[in-house]
A and B are shown apart, each in its own frame.
Chain A
Amino acid sequence: MPDTDPSLEKLIFNLNTLSELGTEITSANDFKRIVKSSLLMVMGSFSASKGVLYTYDAERLVFSPIASKGLTEPAGGLRLSESAMRGLAEHSRPVDIGSGQSAVAHLGQASERFRRLGLKVVAFLVVRDELLGMIVINEKLGGEAYSSYDLQLLSVMAQNIAFSLQSHSLLKKLMHKFNENKELYENLRRIYYDTIHAFAAAIDAKDAYTKGHSHRVATYCAVVATELGWSDERIEGIRIAGLLHDIGKIAVDRTIINKPSSLSGHECVEINAHPVVGYEILSKIKFPWKGIPFMTRNHHEKIDGTGYPDRLAGDEISQGARIMTLVDAFDAMTTDRPYRRRLSFTVAMGELKKHSSTQFDPDIVHSFVSVLKKEASGRADRTTILPLLDEKLDNRAVSDFLKATF
């Protein structure tokens, strides 16, 4: 190979190309564009009319062409043995396919393919002893031989391109892992929610009259919490608490829950224990949301301190529990029970007003009424509470009633 010193002009041109190559491979451009530009820069630097850039596909164990130019037939994939790949990874310098170098022997049938494609010089794209790809180009347009300087330049360009391939490969692996984890997380999340919904259904199934109660309480809780400006995460927490708030009833005898007449003292004690039983169950679970066990324990407390089980008053009861107390009572009133028919919407609202400041937090009553006013007047993003009521209501009448009553 001829070894003449390159001219200053040529050095500047090559330095300029290396600089452009660096800019291109670190750019945010599409990867296909980066590899095509890189290949053209290599070809242009050596006035080669044919070239192909292969990258190693670790899944299919094959070198696939990802950019090519000037070929008269498809480059096609190349399969190399592991030992050949290890051997080639040791070749940091490009080789002439026509030479007797050991790298050519490692290439095996691939070198035959390169000859058939009219290609002459192969540069190995290696990072940390790992063969990531190859650039193969043909002879120079004028037929001159590749000088030592040319091969050195090609080697530097190949190293730059190899780092680009490695970055892309790492990014691809990272994205693959990310998507895998995301899918796993989504599956877990789905299982988690399905389990909670199954619990809610099991709770409601104990009481023939309270079908859907837990779901409605969960929905009402979320709407009121939204009205109060809670964060999405806290809203999700109170929704889950709503689904599970009656879980303690699982421990209560079904005949007591469905008894059509007044309960005896012993029966009252048993049913009134359900918030504490629920708390005992839920406090053993590590929820991603705060306050679920206590919302369950305190959903029968009253703002004036006469509720149960802890006779808490005012701010001693968490806001979540105060919301739940109200919507639980509202749903109990507006649905049929073993011992009475459901109350009408207006009567139930009258009860909320009557017991505001004694049983219910007046601020929560205000927020609940505010939601209903928005739903009845069509100002709500979507109607949630009114469609769930087992009563056909006229929105105008509801609006007028709420305006006159609250």
Chain B
Amino acid sequence: MIEILKGCREVGDTVVLYPQNYINGIEGEKLEEVCGTFFEKGIKKFVIDFSETDIINSIGVSILIGIIEKIKESKGVVLFSGLNKVNLEVFRIVGLTKLIPSFATEADALEEMGATGTPVAASAVSIEL
């Protein structure tokens, strides 16, 4: 299976997802399934940290919109962090920056989220990728 996440971790009641270098193929839809496993666990707060993501194309945008919709449907919250200049521009072009707040760092996003509790190491979060 193609790896779509570098990893993820739970910080209190928030889950931080670290997508792979590229979100530019339909395999990226698996990200939605990953989020689904967290919904089932009752988690509603997400930070998607793109500091490890080099390229997001129109397919990637479509996939992220799918995730945003799902989080919204479950009355959840999602924040972005770590977007590089190019990807931030893509998000601005397609209007995502108007809808989802974006932060320079993961810590900033977590602070905004008001995440509490002890961070759990990435490896401790068990999900089927």
Nearest B-chain residue to A16, judged by Cβ? B57
Question: Are the CB atoms of B58 and A41 closer together than 8 Å?
Answer: yes
Chain B residues bordering chain A, tally (CB within 8 A): 23
**CB of B63 within 8 Å of the partner chain:** yes
* A contact residues, range: 20 to 34
In A36-94, which residues have CB < 8 Å from any B CB?
A: 36-37, 40-49, 69-70
Question: Are the CB atoms of A43 and B65 closer together than 8 Å?
Answer: yes
| Docked pose: A87 CA to B41 CA in angstroms | 51
- Specify which chain B residues have a CB less than 8 angstroms from the CB of A40 in the assembled complex: 26, 58-59, 62-63
**CB of A19, distance to nearest CB on chain B (Å):** 10
**CB of B73, distance to nearest CB on chain A (Å):** 9
**CB of B55, distance to nearest CB on chain A (Å):** 10
Majority SS of interface residues in chain A? helix
Given A40-B59, A45-B58, A142-B99, A13 contacting B65 (CB threshold 8 A): no
Question: Are the CB atoms of B99 and A13 closer together than 8 Å?
Answer: no
Nearest A-chain residue to B61, judged by Cβ? A44
- Specify which chain A residues have a CB less than 8 angstroms from the CB of B15 in the assembled complex: none
Majority SS of interface residues in chain B? helix
| Docked pose: A40 CA to B58 CA in angstroms | 7
- Specify which chain B residues have a CB less than 8 angstroms from the CB of A17 in the assembled complex: 57-58
**CB of B117 within 8 Å of the partner chain:** no
| Docked pose: A69 CA to B65 CA in angstroms | 11
**CB of A233 within 8 Å of the partner chain:** no
**CB of A391, distance to nearest CB on chain B (Å):** 64
**CB of A215 within 8 Å of the partner chain:** no
**CB of A3 within 8 Å of the partner chain:** no
Question: Are the CB atoms of A144 and B26 closer together than 8 Å?
Answer: no
In A97-153, which residues have CB < 8 Å from any B CB?
A: 140-142, 144
Given A13-B93, A17-B57, A44-B60, A37 contacting B65 (CB threshold 8 A): no
**CB of A189 within 8 Å of the partner chain:** no
**CB of A173 within 8 Å of the partner chain:** no
In A1-48, which residues have CB < 8 Å from any B CB?
A: 7, 9-10, 13, 16-17, 20, 33, 36-37, 40-48
The 8 A CB mask of B51-84 against A (1 = contact, 0 = none) is 0000001111111011011000000000000000
Nearest B-chain residue to A46, judged by Cβ? B94
**CB of A157, distance to nearest CB on chain B (Å):** 10
Which residues of B line the A interface, CB within 8 A?
A: 24-26, 57-63, 65-66, 68-69, 89-90, 92-96, 98-99
Additional A-B contacts beyond A13-B89, A13-B90, A141-B69 (16; CB < 8 A): A9-B92, A9-B93, A13-B93, A17-B57, A40-B59, A44-B57, A44-B58, A44-B61, A44-B94, A47-B94, A47-B95, A48-B62, A49-B69, A70-B66, A140-B95, A142-B98
